[in-house]
Every structure is written in C-alpha cells, then in structure tokens.
Amino acid sequence: MPPTLSQQIQTFYDSSSHLWEQVWGEHMHHGYYGPNGQQPKARQQAQVDLIEELLAWGNVQRPQAILDVGCGIGGSSLYLAQKYQATVTGITLSPVQARRAQVRAQTAGLSAQTTFQVVDALNMPFPDGSFDLVWSLESGEHMPDKTQFLQECCRVLKPEGRLLIATWCHRPTPPALTWSEQRLLNDIYRIYYLPYVISLPDYAEIAQTLPLTELKTADWSVAVAPFWDEVIRSALNPQVIWGILNAGLQTLQGSLALSFMSRGYRQGVIRYGLLRGTKLTSEPAE
C-alpha cells in the first residue's frame, strides 16, 4: 500500500532534519526582516526575531503550560520554556525530531520543563483545557483537515488561554487562483508533502465557529519573504550541496523547491498568515 500523508511527512522530516540543523540551525521556520522586509540581519537572528514578534503581536502574557504543535527539533519549545520558565509539550509526527528535541533539552538543562511526543495534531491525547498557550509555528500547512486542526487546538486550550498560529497560506480569493498559480502550489504541495493550503480569510472563517474571542489576523508575507533567498544563498556552499545529495531523494527535492517558495512570495500567491484568539471562559449557548 502507498504511504499515508502522515507517513510521508514523517519520512521527509526524519531524513531532512539532521541536515537542516547542521546547516541552518535549530529553528525550522521563516525569519522576520522588519515590517517592510528591508531590515538586513543574519538569518538565524531573523528566526529568533520572528518568535519575539509573534509573541508581541499575539499579546502573550507569561503562559505556564504551553503546547508547541509541530515542534520540529524543539527550537521554539526550548526558547519558550526558557523565556517564560514554563512547561512546554512539543508534538511532531517525526520520531527523529522528537528524540533530537529531547537530547537538545537535556543539553540546555530544560528536560524538567519540556516533553516531546510523536502525536497527530488532529487527534491529540491531551485532556480538554490542558494549556494556556497553544503555539503553532508553520505546521497548519501540513494539516489535511484545517477545521479539525483548529478545533483540536481550541479544545486543549484552557479558558482564557491564547491560540497563536503562523502558517503558510495562498492569496485570498476571489478572484479564483489561476492555472499557473495552482500549478506552482501543486509543485510546493508535492515536494513538501502538503495536502493543501487555504487563505487567511478561510482560517478566520473557521475560527469564528469556535469558542474564541479577540480574534485577529495579519499577513506578514512582506516581512518574511527574504528568508527563502537567504536559504538559497546559503545552500550554494559546496559542503551544503554535498550534504543535501547525501541526505536522500526527499531532501534533495526539498532543496530544489526553495525557488518555488521564493517565486510564490514574489508573485503574491504564497502568503504568510497569522491568527490569534482567546478561549471563552464558557461555551456559548446554542
């Protein structure tokens, strides 16, 4: 039988995470280059700045129990655990990532504050109301059911807890996506094992059906777009090229797709969407 989408995502990150960490560091997400995308800075600093800018935009107030949905090798989880002296649970589909995050937590002296598990974000094993911050940094694009994804994130939030999501989107519609735009998206889906992406207004529409208040969205495409050109430039190093070739076919395909993402931002079809909301203290009456 052909592998499921979850298995494909797991295999992709199992095979590529080591190279990413070795070459590009612990943070497997975009960087922030100022609101106009014009601030020159080192790529890794831009990635840390993105975390801080998201926390400020989300008005996050010292959470003590955090869920990191799509935690990678623990970059954001460890950062949040240290910043807030909080307990952080990171979930990923990749056993390789979970094990590496555990090792990194031990090295950082944060093992007592952090837990990393292999968990499907659409069917989380946590009780209702477990966390006061649910943080999802670039994992929504991998979810085959965006509504169920947001429902699960909301379910595990405590009353008055904060949901904060940053995710890849496509441009708002209408007008409908053109044939060339859809072809570019399909290429990105195929290489990065994405089922599909939706627009930021689509995310907002789903969020409005949930017991959330203080809903807010933002499009940070301009602020993060320089990231892909930075990654492309760094990948031209001969040692990096050799590492990509040795990491296997999936990692090679992923590296070749860097130009697709850069082009998607230039053409305006790829967007970087933010969503935040606060869990209601009680469910609204039907």
| pLDDT score at 7 | 86
Predicted confidence (pLDDT) per residue in 51-76, tens digit: 999 999 999 999 999 999 999 999 99
Ranges of residues in the chain with a pLDDT under 50 are 1, 241-242, 245, 248-252, 254, 285
pLDDT, tens digit, for every residue of 131-166? 999 999 999 999 999 999 999 999 999 999 999 999
Distance CA 149, CA 168 (A): 14
pTM of the complete model beyond 0.85: yes
Q: How far apart are CA 275 and CA 138, in angstroms?
A: 12
Domains and CATH numbers, the chain: 5-278 (3.40.50.150)
